[in-house]
Amino acid sequence: MHIAPMTICVPDEVLADLKERIVRVKWPNELPDAGWDYGTNLAYMKELVDYWLNEYDWRAEERRLNSFANFKADVGGLGVHFIHEQGRGPHPLPLLIMHGYPWSITTLLRIIPMLTDPISYGGNPEDCFTVVAPSLCGFGFSDPPMEQGFNIPRHAHTES
């Protein structure tokens, strides 16, 4: 299996293209008082888009992601991104943690330091883990599968 360290760095052109496409969005009509009955509430979606366009800082998120040890491995022909953080204790146990659908690895970033370095959070060094946290295929920086039926059980059975 080929495993390589990676640094997350989305090119400026990709971010500019995304922003341009978001600015050009054609908003749908919404039935009066529909709320969330027919999908995403339009007012909420417009607020979210405004946040992404005017407040969200992707480069800050990149720095946060890159504060962890990121890697990419070839697993069954797919590039799988994962974080691998060594435990800071005498006998760290290996621990695999995964996000679910439709979330991303970012939902795990807060707990990884607590698991790898419990002493910094008032815990016992004997309780530390070496954490591996992969991004599901098709999420984050993992390659998307190019076949139907690639669900959670299929992820578990994919081999290098």
The domains found in the chain, sorted by start residue, are 8-67 (no CATH), 68-160 (3.40.50.1820)
Backbone φ and ψ for 142, nearest 5 degrees, come out as -90, 145
Query: What is the pTM assigned to this prediction?
Result: 0.84
Residue 153 pLDDT > 90: no
CB contact at 8 A, 86 and 130: yes
**Direct distance between the N- and C-terminal alpha carbons of the chain, in angstroms, rounded to an integer:** 6
Which of the four pLDDT bands, split at 50, 70 and 90, describes residue 65?
Answer: very high
Which of the four pLDDT bands, split at 50, 70 and 90, describes residue 140?
Answer: confident
The percent of residues in the chain predicted with pLDDT above 70, rounded, is 94
Q: What is the pLDDT of residues 101-114, one digit of tens each?
A: 778 899 999 999 99
CB contact at 8 A, 87 and 131: yes
